[in-house]
Structure 1
Amino acid sequence: MATPDLADLDAFAAVSRARSFRGAAVGRGVSPSSLSEAVRRLEAAVGVRLLNRTTRSVTPTEAGERLLERLAPALADVAGALDAVNQFRDSPTGTLRLNVPGSAARLALPDIIGPFLHAHPGITLEIMVEDSFVDVLAAGADAGVRYGERLEKDMIAVPLSGPERYQAAASPAFLERYGTPRHPRDLLAMPCIRHRFPSGALIVLEFEKDGEIIRVSPEGPLITSSSELEIRAAEEGLGVIASFEGFLAPSVAAGRLVPVLEDWNPPFEGPFLYYPSRRHMPAPLRAFVDFVRARRGGS
């Protein structure tokens, strides 16, 4: 049996975790065809089929599962050994890949990215914006950003920013026509702009006051997953919008939207940087974690 190339072994592990050549390629910044060729070379070297390929999925064979089980910790040790040299630099080098939701990309990260990259010019920061919850390792990311209620239990979580708040608002013309809602259930009699999650589920609006939680699913003329389209529609008087306060702030400041039901929108925990617990943390990730903790006062 020919000795397999280490890069081909690494490619096989990436495809196996992602269950997709395309998904693994996106996470690694390479083409799917290059990963496919690497896996073919590996299978030729070991003389065994390692992946079952169909038009819809890629799954390890029994031999592939056995190889991946032994291979993953070995590859992690190799990566750790190579990255250990990074610790001797004044500033580490390498690529840090983060998987983040759109809200964090717009509200939490802009104030962090510039100062971090200025402090660490040897690091390349790659940010993948994705609103569905994914396995960060399978997606090719070193760490993710999510909100507390969606964190997996085996992850280490570091607060990325302070509390955030949801806000309901409507245009002045809309409020003149329909009146100002005083209770969340009033929205059931008003057109609302509705948000659809990547999973396909429609958002349920949740309000809280004095320990009472009210959830409503109002109707409306527009359903979209685009916050930009939602805000524009609300500004044009098509319905009440409920979104992150930071998203609506420019429109509120300009008078194009007016907040409503403010006493029903308490603050909640902001996003967390999360990453898997493991013996060795890559130097770029360690630098980012230390940077975030320093900005948050060591929390």
Structure 2
Amino acid sequence: MSSILDLEIFVRVADSGSISAAARALELTPAAASIALKRLETRLGIRLLARSTRSMRLTEEGRRYLDSVRIALGALAEGEQALRQHGEGLSGALQLAAPSDFGRNVLLPWLDDFKREHPNIQLQLLLNDRHADLFRETVDVALRFGVPSDSTLVALPILPAHRRVACASPDYLARHGTPRHPGELREHSALLYLRNGRPYNTWRFSREDETLEIEVHGDYFSDDGEVARRWALAGHGIAYKAWLDVAEDVRGGRLLTLFDDWHGESVPFNLLCPHRVQVSERVRVLQAFLQTRCAALSR
């Protein structure tokens, strides 16, 4: 077995690209850090790092091994923390990624309440509609709509099925008329979300045994879900949004839902974790908290 220090040195070098920087962070000499890396490579029988006089980078084997080492060190740290805080409140860092619109307008005030309940937890929040790579980025868990594209991820359910709704501002509907059937969306300006650089312009609706796929068009495109919501509030067109994102706007009368006798596309809402060993008590408590809040906001 490799020593924990050897593994920590490897992770530090991989993150900083420098043996000297890793040694300083761990209060070692560069020579001691270099020896530890060689010892680790010798035991494994592989090259983890490709070195030159000017640079250092991970080999393909090193990249694969780094993911496992992060998980192992994280599990050890979690176990040590559980022993230290036995009988005390939850503590430690919790790194969370979330969609931009839900994160800014719904999740942020909720996290204030969560922090009051667990004041010793250090929250780190990443808001971005680009899906964080949970195996490579400094993220413990991520909130995502839809079925995970990577079957190796652990999906902790928040809502098993959450639907999208078509919605627009009263001002837009007063100026352009209110469509009564999803097919009439073709005659309106759609606020389009860009997914992987391509517009998400096929909106799905169902009613009993009938399913419709409507191809929509518009002049407004964005890869940020919050921008589409703001455009809808400003009266620029009709948006197709997750109910959680617009629930408060609908309840406040700022947006109106359309086709309430039809159901928009339904997707799960999950808290994703890269590995089962990283489902800590902090993550479980956050999951339960979000389940309660989302259930209250859902309909």
Please confirm whether the aligned pair reaches a TM-score higher than 0.5, indicating the same fold: yes
Q: Which amino acid aligns with 1:37?
A: A
Q: Does 1:203 align with 2:187?
A: no
Q: Distance in 1 between matches of 2:282 and 2:141?
A: 11
CA displacement, residues 83-136 of structure 1 (integer Å, 9 cap, x when unaligned): 342352411321011122224424663464234322322211212123233332
Structure 2: segments with no counterpart, 5+ residues: 25-29, 42-46
2:158/2:270 contact within 8 Å kept: yes
1:168/1:259 contact within 8 Å kept: yes
Q: Which amino acid aligns with 2:21?
A: E
Q: 1:179 to 1:67 in 2, by over 3 A?
A: closer
Tell me the residue number matched to 1:264.
262
Q: Distance in 2 between matches of 1:246 and 1:292?
A: 12
CA displacement, residues 153-183 of structure 1 (integer Å, 9 cap, x when unaligned): 3344333358543222334454344432232
Tell me the residue number matched to 1:245.
243
Q: Distance in 1 between matches of 2:11 and 2:184?
A: 56
Tell me the residue number matched to 2:283.
285
Q: Distance in 1 between matches of 2:205 and 2:35?
A: 59
1:80/1:281 contact within 8 Å kept: no
Offset of residue 140 of structure 1: 1.6
Q: Distance in 1 between matches of 2:229 and 2:63?
A: 47
Q: Distance in 2 between matches of 1:84 and 1:246?
A: 34
Q: Distance in 1 between matches of 2:157 and 2:78?
A: 25
Tell me the residue number matched to 1:82.
80
Q: Distance in 2 between matches of 1:69 and 1:163?
A: 31
Q: Distance in 2 between matches of 1:139 and 1:96?
A: 13
Q: 1:192 to 1:284 in 2, by over 3 A?
A: closer
Offset of residue 191 of structure 1: 2.0
Q: Distance in 2 between matches of 1:140 and 1:244?
A: 27
Tell me the residue number matched to 1:146.
144
Figure out how many residues of one structure are paired with residues of the other and give that number.
274
Tell me the residue number matched to 2:27.
none
Offset of residue 287 of structure 1: 4.2
Q: Distance in 2 between matches of 1:292 and 1:178?
A: 38
DSSP 3-state at the match of 1:182: coil
Aligned counterparts, 1:1-12, within 5 A: 7-12=8-13
Q: 1:144 to 1:63 in 2, by over 3 A?
A: closer
2:159/2:291 contact within 8 Å kept: no
Q: Distance in 1 between matches of 2:284 and 2:87?
A: 13
DSSP 3-state at the match of 1:192: strand
Tell me the residue number matched to 2:44.
none
Structure 1: segments with no counterpart, 5+ residues: 16-20, 22-31
Q: Distance in 1 between matches of 2:214 and 2:234?
A: 23
Where is the strand percentage greater, Structure 1 or Structure 2? 2
Q: Which amino acid aligns with 2:11?
A: D
Q: Which amino acid aligns with 1:144?
A: A
Which region of structure 1 is more displaced relative to structure 2, 102-111 or 91-100? 102-111
DSSP 3-state at the match of 1:83: helix
Offset of residue 266 of structure 1: 4.6
Pick the aligned partner of 2:92 from 77, 91, 94.
94
Tell me the residue number matched to 1:24.
none
Percent identical residues: 27
CA displacement, residues 177-209 of structure 1 (integer Å, 9 cap, x when unaligned): 443223222222222221213x21211322222
Offset of residue 247 of structure 1: 3.6
Aligned counterparts, 1:131-170, within 5 A: 131-150=129-148, 152-161=150-159, 164-170=162-168
Pick the aligned partner of 2:22 from 33, 38, 46.
38
TM-score (norm 2): 0.70
DSSP 3-state at the match of 2:198: coil
Q: CA RMSD in A?
A: 4.1
CA displacement, residues 23-78 of structure 1 (integer Å, 9 cap, x when unaligned): xxxxxxxxx5789832995557545874459xxxx963266358648845653564
Q: Which amino acid aligns with 2:258?
A: V
Q: Distance in 1 between matches of 2:233 and 2:64?
A: 57
DSSP 3-state at the match of 1:262: coil
1:104/1:271 contact within 8 Å kept: no
